[in-house]
Chains A and B, each alone.
Chain A
Amino acid sequence: EVQLLESGGGLVQPGGSLRLSCAASGFTFSTYAMSWVRQAPGKGLEWVSAISASGGSTSYADSVRGRFTISRDNSKNTLYLQMNSLRVEDTAVYYCAKELAPSGAFDTWAQGTMVTVSS
C-alpha cells in the first residue's frame, strides 16, 4: 500500500524554525517527484514547494522562497521541509504529496501535520 507519514509539526514562535519529515512506503520513492501543500485554518489549498525525483531540481511558492528548503533522502525514502524565519501566516496544516507522472497530479497525500506559529 502506498503510504506517506508525516512528522515534525508543532508550535513555534515567530522567527523560529521547524523541520517536517515525510516517510514514504509502498512505492519506489526515488522515481517520483514530491511536493508540499499547506492549508491555513478555514482556508483553501496552497502549494508550497516541489522537488524532482533525483532532488536535483526544486521550486518554491513566492510566499516561502528564501525561507523554506525542500530536500529528500532517497536512501531513507524520506522527504523534508526545513522552515526558517517562520511567520504567523505560515500557520497551517502541511501535507506532503506524491506526484503522478507525467501529469504531476498529487495522487497520494499524507495525513497532514499542523504547524502553529504564535508567540
Chain B
Amino acid sequence: QSVLTQPPSASGTPGQRVTISCSGSSSNIGSYTVNWYQQLPGTAPKLLIYSNNQRPSGVPDRFSGSKSGTSASLAISGLQSEDEADYYCAAWDDSLNGWVFGGGTKLTVL
C-alpha cells in the first residue's frame, strides 16, 4: 500500500479535461512540495510537474498542478491520445526520511 493515495484509473475523451488526485498526510504533502511523473508504456518515467505547479521546459501548458493542505491534483486539459500513460505523484516524507510515491493512475483516452 502506497503512502500517497491516487485513484488506480482515470479516463477521458480527446479534448476533455481530466484531473488526478493525490492524497497524503502532514508528514509529506502537508509539509513539502509535490512532483508529478508521466510514464509512457515501456519507458522510464518523465518529470511532468515539480514544486506543486512548475512545468519543466518542454512540458505543454495543458498540464498543470495544484496543492491544498495534504492533497494535490494534476490536471490535463485538451486531452490527447498521446497522454495515455501512468501518472505518479511524489513528495518527501519526513517521518520516513525518504521520498514516497503514489500508487499510480493509469489514464485511458477513450
Q: Is B88 an interface residue (CB 8 A)?
A: yes
A103 to B91, CA, bound (A): 10
What's the tally of chain B residues with a CB closer than 8 Å to chain A?
26
What's the tally of chain A residues with a CB closer than 8 Å to chain B?
22
A45 to B37, CA, bound (A): 10
Is the CB–CB distance between B44 and A112 below 8 Å?
yes
Name A87-118 residues within 8 Å CB distance of B.
95, 100, 103-107, 109-112
A103 to B90, CA, bound (A): 11
Chain A residues near B45 (CB-CB < 8 A): 37, 45, 95, 106, 109
Give the residue of A37, A45, A100 whose beta carbon is less than 8 angstroms from that of B50. A100
Segment at the interface with A among B19-27, B72-80, B99-107: B99-107
- Looking at B44, B45, B50, the one whose CB has the most chain A CB atoms below 10 A away is B44
Chain B residues proximal to chain A, CB less than 8 Å: 2, 33, 35, 37, 39, 44-47, 50-51, 54, 56, 86, 88, 90, 92, 96-104
Chain A residues proximal to chain B, CB less than 8 Å: 35, 37, 44-47, 50, 59-62, 95, 100, 103-107, 109-112
